[in-house]
């Protein structure tokens, strides 16, 4: 049960589903709040707006946590396995800090007590790609963890994915910032319109209270 829950935590499909559900609930609250002129519902998008800025050490720690968790549960979920293989091939890296991090996985663990046939191996996505190779050799990472860095570097990527991914994020900050800004602008516009509607509703409430208080006035 613990392995299943941990696997679900890093499953990309589950993460996308959770984000979609949260987005729908926040948008639904704002929509109903504007139709019913309910201040509490209108304040929901404003309260859920992101205000957290992640620093470099925090970002590296989070990336490390995600990658190490994905390595442990590599064989537990096909979607997660395909995502890791794509990332390792795309960024030309292997493991977290180094290719020997794959020993955290029960199948690739390099201890003598491990009965797995993949003991001391790494996934095929760690292997150096040959442009002339038509059929991928899925056993190309066999026994690579037992080799030293220099020896293994002739066959696989020995650099870890954590530093590679963090460096990629730093080198594409403007691109990522532009994407984040593009996603944030519609939300900010919605928050601004919701705040304007909230102020109008409060003004109407104050006017109604004022009229009720002065209705008994003979000069009303």
d(CA 43, CA 90): 42
- Cβ within 8 Å of residue 61, ≥6 positions away: none
- Would you call 55 helix, strand, or coil by DSSP? coil
| Alpha helix (H) residue ranges in the chain | 2-9, 12-36, 39-47, 56-72, 78-91, 149-152, 161-171, 173-213
Report percent pLDDT > 90 for the chain. 26
Residues paired with 98 in a beta bridge: 159
The 10s digit of each residue's pLDDT in 131-177 is 777 788 888 899 999 999 999 999 999 999 888 888 887 788 788 77
Helices 161-171, 56-72: crossing angle, 10 deg rounding: 140
The 10s digit of each residue's pLDDT in 67-110 is 888 899 898 888 889 989 999 999 999 999 999 999 999 999 99
Band of residue 8 on the pLDDT scale cut at 50, 70, 90: low
Q: Which domains does the chain have, with CATH numbers?
A: 1-33+56-208 (1.10.1450.10)
**Residue 196 is encoded by which pair of tokens?**
């304007």
- Cβ within 8 Å of residue 11, ≥6 positions away: 77, 79, 80
The 10s digit of each residue's pLDDT in 33-69 is 777 778 777 777 666 655 444 445 666 777 788 888 8
Do the beta carbons of residue 130 and residue 118 sit within 8 Å?
no
């Amino acid at each position: 049960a613990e392995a299943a829950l941990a696997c679900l935590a890093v499953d990309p499909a589950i993460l996308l589903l959770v984000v979609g559900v949260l987005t729908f609930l926040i948008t639904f609250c704002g929509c109903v709040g504007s139709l019913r002129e309910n201040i509490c519902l209108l304040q929901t998008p404003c309260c859920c707006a992101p205000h957290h800025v992640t620093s470099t050490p925090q970002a590296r720690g989070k990336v490390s946590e995600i990658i190490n968790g994905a390595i442990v549960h590599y064989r537990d979920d096909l979607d997660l396995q395909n995502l890791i293989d794509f990332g390792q091939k795309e960024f030309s890296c292997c493991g977290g800090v180094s290719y020997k991090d794959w020993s955290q996985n029960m199948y690739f663990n390099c201890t003598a007590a491990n009965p797995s046939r993949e003991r001391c191996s790494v996934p095929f996505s760690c292997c150096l790609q040959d442009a002339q190779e038509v059929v991928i050799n899925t056993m190309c990472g066999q026994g690579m963890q037992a080799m030293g860095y220099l020896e293994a570097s002739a066959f696989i990527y020995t650099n870890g994915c954590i530093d590679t991914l963090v460096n990629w994020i730093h080198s594409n900050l403007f691109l990522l910032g532009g994407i984040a800004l593009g996603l944030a602008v519609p939300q900010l516009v919605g928050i601004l319109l919701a705040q304007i509607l909230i102020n109008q509703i409060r003004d109407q409430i104050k006017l109604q209270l004022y009229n009720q208080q002065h209705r008994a006035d003979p000069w009303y």
